[in-house]
Amino acid sequence: MAALRAGKTNNEADQPSSPVLRFGSDKPLKLDAGTLLSPFQIAYQTYGTLNDARSNAILVCHALTGDQHVANTNPVTGKPGWWEVLIGPGKIIDTNRFFVICSNVIGGCLGSTGPASTNPATGKPYGLDLPVITIRDMVRAQQMLIDHFGIEKLFCVLGGSMGGMQVLEWASSYPERVFSALPIATGARHSSQNIAFHEVGRQAVMADPDWHGGKYFEHGKRPEKGLAVARMAAHITYLSEAALHRKFGRNLQDRDHLTFGFDADFQIESYLRHQGMTFVDRFDANSYLYMTRSMDYFDLAADHGGRLADAFAGTKTRFCLVSFTSDWLFPTEESRSIVHALNAAGASVSFVEIETDRGHDAFLLDEPELFAAINGFIGSAARARGLSA
């Protein structure tokens, strides 16, 4: 079964189970690395209908290991979309009312050009021959997708974690094209601690003998063990100590006594191993390297002379930021610093800190306070935009 899913993932890289927009040599993607990516493609999903004024479009930006399948069944895992709890007919983001777009980011592995995609120059997967991708590069590609739909201004751009970084980049790089922005559980730059965790994950992947310098497809291999360890380490950062204690404590896994060995004695060990094993079935190892690097490089203030407020100078975009009390990956002070910068720039901004013990991943879960905040902000922005209920 794992091999079957791995095959599906490989197929998705070039021929995704979703619409795909291809750009030829006449429309290259300019990368921060100083090179042009051409040809390239963007895989995406849409939900709802774009109105005649093209004013009801919402762009959803996915997190590190997310994809374009935000509100439909994932073709690889068979599981529901990662934000189906929020997006759909009659839901908080009502697809009877809004036209929702979600694309796989450049550097991803489910249809947008990434390291698992075929390099037209060689006929083999790019591997590490793909230039390093930044958050700004992802947004540039999304902007080209939005142009394809003839949308001049997005009603809202929203996302959590790495998706929130994209939201901030959108609002900074294309303020005239973003009516409202909703960055959740994110920051204006990656902290040294977060970079450190990512480096542990990358080293785990690259230390796997099946990695083969990034050319594992050519060897018929996949660095599954290294990627699984990377996912296990990262997954811990998405949770909180309180949530782990509440869910697992020191409970033993399918046994009454310690084995005095190195099997998964504890439930938390078994849980993490499961997370690692299921992750490698749906995600490309090289793409994990690229995605984590893009987050590490993100520093919005540094891109504007070290002053974060200058990133939003003169903006007319309406903002709402959301953080979670138990999120130690992107703690509340990260959001507060963005709010202070937006205040200094004279922007319209609201801020909500939600009390929860679910940690960073709370933005993906059924959190009533989060839904209430999103619902209130979207409703207010829709009225200001003149979108009827």
- Residue 353, by phi and psi: left (phi above 0), alpha (psi -120 to 50) or beta? beta
Which of 293, 356, 333 is closest to 128 using CA atoms?
293
The answer to whether residues 371 and 384 touch, using CB atoms and an 8 Å cutoff, is no
Identified catalytic residue from 62, 69, 198, 360: 360
Would residue 274 show up in a list of annotated catalytic residues for this protein?
A: no
Strand 40-47, strand 318-324: pairing: unpaired
Compute the distance between CA of residue 317 and CA of residue 347 in angstroms, rounded to an integer: 7
The owner of tokens 């997370």 is 275
Identified catalytic residue from 103, 117, 161, 287: 161
The answer to whether residues 169 and 136 touch, using CB atoms and an 8 Å cutoff, is yes
The CA distances from residue 27 to 43, 116, 138, 240, 309, in Å, are 16, 21, 15, 44, 32
Would residue 327 show up in a list of annotated catalytic residues for this protein?
A: yes
Q: How far is CA 378 from the centre of its chain?
A: 21
Tell me: is residue 361 an annotated ligand-binding position: yes
Would residue 360 show up in a list of annotated catalytic residues for this protein?
A: yes
Provide the b/e sequence for 290-320 (b: ≥16 CB within 10 Å). Answer: bbbbbbbbbebbebbeeebbbbbeebebbbb
Tell me: is residue 231 an annotated ligand-binding position: yes
Identified catalytic residue from 137, 281, 303, 327: 327
The answer to whether residues 283 and 65 touch, using CB atoms and an 8 Å cutoff, is yes
Q: Which residues are annotated as a binding site?
A: 231, 361
Q: Which residues are annotated as a binding site for substrate?
A: 231, 361
Active-site positions read 161, 327, 360
